A and B are shown apart, each in its own frame.
Chain A
Amino acid sequence: MKKFLTGNEAVARGAYEAGVTYASAYPGTPSTEILENIAPFKEHMYAEWAPNEKVALETAIGASIAGARALSAMKHVGVNVAADPLFTYSYTGVNGGLVLVSADDPGMHSSQNEQDNRYYAKFAKLAMLEPSDSQEAKDFVKVALEISEKYDKPVLLRVTTRICHSKTLVELGEREEVEIKPYKKNIPKYVASPANARVLHIKVEERLKQLEKFSNETDLNKIEWNDKKIGIVTSGIAYQYAKEVFGDNVSYLKLGFTYPLPMKKIKEFADQVETLYVIEELEPYIEEQMKAAGIKCIGKELIPRIGELNPDIIAKAILKEERPMIKYSEAEVVGRPPTLCAGCPHRGFFYMLSKKKNVMITGDIGCYTLGSAQPLSSMDTCICMGASVSAGHGAQKAFSFNGVDKKVIGVIGDSTFFHSGVTGLMDIVYNKGNAVTVILDNRITGMTGHQENPGTGYTLQGEKTHAINIPMLCEAVGVKKENIFIINPLNLDDCNKTIDEAFSKKEPTVIITEWPCVLKKPSPEDIEKFGNKKIICKVDEEKCKACRICTKTGCPAISFDEKAKINEDMCVGCDVCLQACPFDAIVKVGE
Chain B
Amino acid sequence: MSGVKNILLVGVGGQGIILASKILSQGLISAGYDVKMSEVHGMAQRGGSVTTQVRFGKKVYSPIIGKGQADIVVSFEKMETLRWLDHLKIGGKVVVNDYEIPSAPILVGDAKYPENVISILEEKASTTVFKAAEIAKELGNIRTMNIVMLGALTKAMGLKDVAWEKILKNNVKEKFVDVNIQALRKGMEQVEE
Contact = CB atoms under 8 A, between A and B. Distances in A.
A370 interface: yes
Interface stretch (B28-36, B147-155, B182-190): B28-36
Contacts of B103: 334-337
B85 A328 contact: yes
A29 interface: yes
Interface string B30-67: 00001111111111111111000000000011111011
Contacts of A328: 82, 85-86, 120, 124
Given A162-B64, A166-B39, A559 B46 contact: no
A235 to B, nearest CB: 14
B1 A244 contact: yes
Given A326-B86, A338-B48, A169 B35 contact: yes
Interface residues of A, number: 55
A569 interface: yes
Contacts, number: 174
A325 B67 contact: yes
Contacts of A165: 38-41
Interface stretch (B110-118, B157-165, B172-180): B110-118
B125 A338 contact: no
Given A326-B85, A328-B120, A241 B62 contact: yes
A341 B45 CA distance: 10
For A243, A339, A373, which residue has the most chain B Cβ atoms within 10 angstroms? A339
Nearest to B86: A325
A133 B183 CA distance: 34
B79 A166 contact: no
A560 B109 contact: yes
A332 B66 contact: no
B114 A4 contact: no
Nearest to B34: A169
A560 B107 contact: yes
B90 A4 contact: no
Contact of B107 (A110, A167, A333, A558): A558
Nearest to A329: B120
Interface in A136-194: 162, 165-169
B114 A333 contact: yes
Contacts of B62: 240-241, 243-244, 310-311
A297 interface: no
Nearest to A560: B109
Q: Could you tell me the dominant secondary structure of chain A's interface residues?
A: loop
Contacts of B38: 162, 165-167
Interface string A291-311: 000000000000000000011
A66 interface: no
A556 interface: yes
Given A323-B66, A328-B82, A334-B113, A569 B42 contact: no
A345 to B, nearest CB: 14
Nearest to B90: A324
B41 A110 contact: yes
A448 interface: yes
Contact of B79 (A29, A168, A334): A334
Contact of A373 (B67, B104, B106): B104
Contacts of B16: none
Interface stretch (A81-89, A399-407, A489-497, A547-555): A547-555
Nearest to B48: A338
Interface string B10-41: 00110000000010011001000011111111
Nearest to A242: B61
B68 A325 contact: yes
A338 B13 contact: yes
Interface string A331-363: 011111111110000000000000000000000
Give the most central of A29, A168, A374, A560: most B CB within 10 Å: A168
Task: Give the 4 A-B residue pairs with the shortest CB-CB distance, closest first.
Answer: A110-B42, A323-B68, A166-B63, A338-B48
Given A237-B63, A337-B103, A559-B107, 16 more contacts: A109-B43, A109-B44, A165-B38, A166-B36, A166-B64, A244-B62, A310-B62, A311-B62, A323-B69, A336-B48, A338-B43, A374-B110, A447-B43, A448-B42, A556-B104, A560-B107
5 contacts: A30-B42, A166-B38, A166-B64, A333-B83, A336-B104
